[in-house]
A and B are shown apart, each in its own frame.
Chain A
Amino acid sequence: MTKAIASQSGRRGRALMDRRRLGRAAMLATGGFAFLYILVPLIFVTWLSFYRQEIPSYPPEGYSLRWYGAAAANERFIDAFLVSIQLGVISTAIGLAVALPAALGITRLRFRGRGALANMLLLPLIVPGIVLGFALYVFQVEIEIATSLPLLGSLGGLVWGHVLLVIPWATRLITASLEGFDRTLEEAAQNLGANRLTTFRRVTMPMILPGIVAGAIFGFVSSFGNLEVSLFLVGPGRTTLPIAILQYLQWKIDPTIAAISVLQITIIAAAMLVTDRFVKISRVV
């Protein structure tokens, strides 16, 4: 009698386990598919960059590194790459200088319109890049007409646009780290003799540093990869890497572009890995 019950419950248990295992398998399959879906373009671009032939056709005739050489020998790409790096670094620095006080204000001060301000700082993420770029273009044209300052096409004009790309990321990530910050730590520092500035430097800053680093790297990456805003603001002889790629593609399709893309992907991936060492990306985004 008891044996029968035991075997029955055993059977039921096994059925339950089977169902669980099935669920797990389904989840893995879905996840695997999604992962593949994201990864396939990257894999193909990387594969393509090592083709020997000029026309990207299948099957490959052989493999070589010649397209990396070609990319490195192309002055337009080199110049554009340097412009992009320069632009990213300057814009990130300015963006952080705006975002840090903004995040402090949003998290610590109580004032009317605080929520609205917080949302406004995220706006550049929501407004389509083309619209943002076009608006800035028109605005800069008007300023140039009014003041005859050579703004359009200058590095300053580009930085202006890219700072707008950095601010939302930096503000969001720094705000997130400030929200989790226990303010009694600042009181403890002050009680021990630290004035406001020293408290910020010795206690607040080290605690929110992960958020600042994450904000900087995300900001840099979004500047480095941006095409739409830059399209309107670049001038003759000064293009960013994404624009140089686009221009090259208008004339030619060969694996040079793939090689350049692989370099770009590598830089961004490295930035992400560095960020992840400071702060778990999944925790702040």
Chain B
Amino acid sequence: MARLQLEGLSKRYNEFYAARDIHLDVAEGEMLVLLGPSGCGKTTTLRMIAGFVEPSEGVIRIGGEDVTWHPPWKRSTGLVFQNYALFPHLTVARNLAFGLEMRRVEKSEIDRRVHDALAMVRLDHLADRLPRQLSGGQQQRVALARALVVRPDVLLLDEPLSNLDAKLREEVRIEIRALQQRLGITTVMVTHDQEEALSMADRLVVMKEGEVRQIGSQQELYERPVDRFVASFVGRSSFLRGRLADGILRTEGGLEVRCSDGPNGPAAVAIRPERVTVAREAPSAENVFPGEVEHVSYLGGSIDVRVRLSPKDVVVAQMPNVEGGWLPQAGDRVHAGWSASAKAFADTETEEGTAQVS
């Protein structure tokens, strides 16, 4: 267990930065999740921590010690690989014993610790199986136990759930998180799945194009995203685009939307679907616009309603599925309303197209 610090960490391939100036400080026992689309640098960052990628700049500290130039086998990190990377020629027990043998732990001690680690992931009855004789979920638990049995300072999880089917994923998510908290082990997890990230993390790091965009709790990221990318990647948003002046966004379609203040100029307002009210009569809200229902998706627990407000502007509303409630139909004339606290962001060209909610 130890604190993990990354100070100005970069990885450059010629002119291309796979990761750029990453600063992270993971407290002892904290679970930090790196979240971002593929190619955002999250895996590169994880592999630099494990020692498989040499940083171009910056310092990595584990428990205060500078390990930047230590080879992988001299760092106390336990990495769970995306494909588990279990040794196929060794039994489950021998897979777990491997790391302990490398540390020259005594034979009887190895047996005891392997047994305990297997019991921890409820696989003690499968100790003598080969990896190929296990299901995907079991292999995943063996990989986790193998990483933990050596008691590493830092646990690293590289998309640990991506090879499991959806139903199992939810279960394992809870299991890993519970185990991590029980052991109090400093953990860095990498994922592109926001639900996974939100449900497991103490703190999240949103990355894009090799850079950290925002670090914060689930609520901070959702309620106060720093830019348009974070607003679109964490949770869902509809974006209305236009020019911002003094807290009012004039859209290309001619709407005047009241929103939180932002830099004057080209801007986009992010509107969370569940904060939009759709009704036949105009609701009382700071922003109310008439529109026409374009599409209705009945999702069971909620209903997504896509409302066209002008030839250029569309918002999505997520309506709760209330018993006996009104169900809009495509073509209905309705009003959509939301508060003036919706966030406005400078609208940069590079992020065009990533934003719109489907």
State whether these chains interact: yes
Residue of B99, B103, B150 contacting most chain A CB atoms (<10 Å): B99
Quick one: CB contact mask for B100-114 with A, threshold 8 Å, 1 for yes?
A: 001100000000000
Do A206 and B89 touch (CB < 8 A)?
Answer: yes
Do A190 and B71 touch (CB < 8 A)?
Answer: yes
B69 at the interface (CB under 8 A from A): no
- Chain B: minimal CB distance from A95 (Å): 25
Do B99 and A184 touch (CB < 8 A)?
Answer: no
Do A191 and B89 touch (CB < 8 A)?
Answer: no
- Measured in the bound complex, the distance between the Cα atoms of B98 and A189 in whole Å is 8
Q: Which residues of B contact A192 (CB under 8 A)?
A: 73, 98-99, 102, 146, 150
- Chain A: minimal CB distance from B261 (Å): 48
- Measured in the bound complex, the distance between the Cα atoms of B98 and A202 in whole Å is 9
Total A-B pairs, Cβ < 8 A: 55
Do B77 and A185 touch (CB < 8 A)?
Answer: no
Do A191 and B79 touch (CB < 8 A)?
Answer: yes
The number of chain B residues touching the other chain, given as a range, is 20 to 34
- Chain B: minimal CB distance from A159 (Å): 34
Q: Which residues of B contact A206 (CB under 8 A)?
A: 89
Closest B residue by C-beta to A192: B99
B183 at the interface (CB under 8 A from A): no
- Measured in the bound complex, the distance between the Cα atoms of B294 and A285 in whole Å is 61
Known: A195-B71, A203-B87. Contact between A184 and B81, CB under 8 A? Answer: yes
B83 at the interface (CB under 8 A from A): yes
Q: Which residues of B contact A195 (CB under 8 A)?
A: 71, 73
Closest A residue by C-beta to B76: A193
B117 at the interface (CB under 8 A from A): no
Q: Which residues 150-198 in A have Cβ within 8 Å of B in the complex? A: 182, 184-185, 187-195, 198
Q: Which residues of B contact A194 (CB under 8 A)?
A: 73, 98, 102
- Measured in the bound complex, the distance between the Cα atoms of B103 and A184 in whole Å is 21
- Chain B: minimal CB distance from A142 (Å): 49
A207 at the interface (CB under 8 A from B): yes
Q: Which residues of B contact A203 (CB under 8 A)?
A: 87
Partner of B87, one of A185, A190, A198: A185
Partner of B73, one of A182, A190, A207: A190
Partner of A182, one of B51, B52, B83, B102: B83
B85 at the interface (CB under 8 A from A): yes
Q: Which residues 50-88 in B have Cβ within 8 Å of A in the complex? A: 50-52, 71-73, 77-79, 81, 83, 85-88
- Chain A: minimal CB distance from B272 (Å): 39
Partner of A193, one of B50, B83, B102: B102
Closest B residue by C-beta to A193: B102
Do B102 and A187 touch (CB < 8 A)?
Answer: no
Closest A residue by C-beta to B72: A190
Q: Which residues of A contact B98 (CB under 8 A)?
A: 189, 192, 194, 202
Do A193 and B103 touch (CB < 8 A)?
Answer: yes
- Chain B: minimal CB distance from A85 (Å): 31
Do B87 and A191 touch (CB < 8 A)?
Answer: no
Do A184 and B83 touch (CB < 8 A)?
Answer: yes
Known: A192-B146, A192-B150, A193-B150. Contact between A187 and B89, CB under 8 A? Answer: no
Q: Which residues of B contact A188 (CB under 8 A)?
A: 79, 81, 85-87
- Chain A: minimal CB distance from B86 (Å): 8
- Chain A: minimal CB distance from B137 (Å): 19
B residues contacting A by CB (< 8 A) are 50-52, 71-73, 77-79, 81, 83, 85-89, 98-99, 102-103, 146-147, 150
Q: Which A-B residue pairs are the 4 nearest by beta carbons?
A: A193-B102, A192-B99, A188-B85, A190-B72
